[in-house]
């Protein structure tokens, strides 16, 4: 699809997916961040970022957009993806927030014992080639969170 969009023979599109259980590693993924993967397969990708888990209960969105038709600005593209997630969450009365220097969207945990704790609800890992975007967003709706124990997700505990 990427090459067809780049050649102008296919329209831009967004794939919406739900993967079977898999750990995917981006271009910064370190082998020592694979802790105890068990029977879950691993797959190295060309996207940015480190290790993450994809599986049931998570929605994956792969925008394939031609940024040359917009602004050729990777940071602005990531910013707008985060803004789209935050605005979508708001439609469901969920308050999402950014963290400086860390791509993704977090939500505040409703826990009296940990009132300042936030949890990552959406991860971003993109690749842009010839100004065509690939890969994208993973939003956690109701995944098996124990699967994240097999890795150091996004390189941080």
Active site residues: 154
How many helices (DSSP H) and strands (DSSP E) are in the chain? 2, 9
CB 52 within 8 A of CB 23: yes
Q: Across the chain, where does the E strand assignment appear?
A: 13-17, 22-25, 42-44, 51-54, 58-64, 96-99, 102-108, 118-129, 132-140
Quickly count: other Cβ atoms within 10 Å of residue 143's Cβ.
Answer: 19
């Amino acid at each position: 699809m990427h090459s067809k969009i780049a050649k102008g023979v296919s329209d831009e599109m967004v794939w919406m997916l739900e993967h079977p259980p898999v750990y995917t590693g981006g271009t910064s993924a370190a082998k020592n961040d694979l802790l105890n993967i068990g029977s879950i397969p691993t797959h190295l990708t060309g996207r940015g970022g480190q290790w993450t888990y994809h599986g049931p209960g998570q929605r994956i969105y792969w925008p394939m957009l031609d940024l040359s038709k917009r602004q050729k600005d990777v940071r602005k593209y990531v910013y707008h993806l985060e803004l789209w997630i935050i605005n979508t969450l708001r439609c469901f009365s969920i308050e999402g927030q950014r963290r400086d220097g860390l791509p993704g969207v977090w939500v505040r945990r409703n826990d009296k014992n940990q009132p300042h704790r936030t949890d990552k609800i959406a991860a971003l890992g993109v690749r842009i080639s010839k100004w065509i975007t690939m890969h994208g967003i993973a939003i956690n709706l109701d995944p098996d969170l124990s699967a994240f124990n097999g890795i150091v997700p996004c390189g941080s505990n």
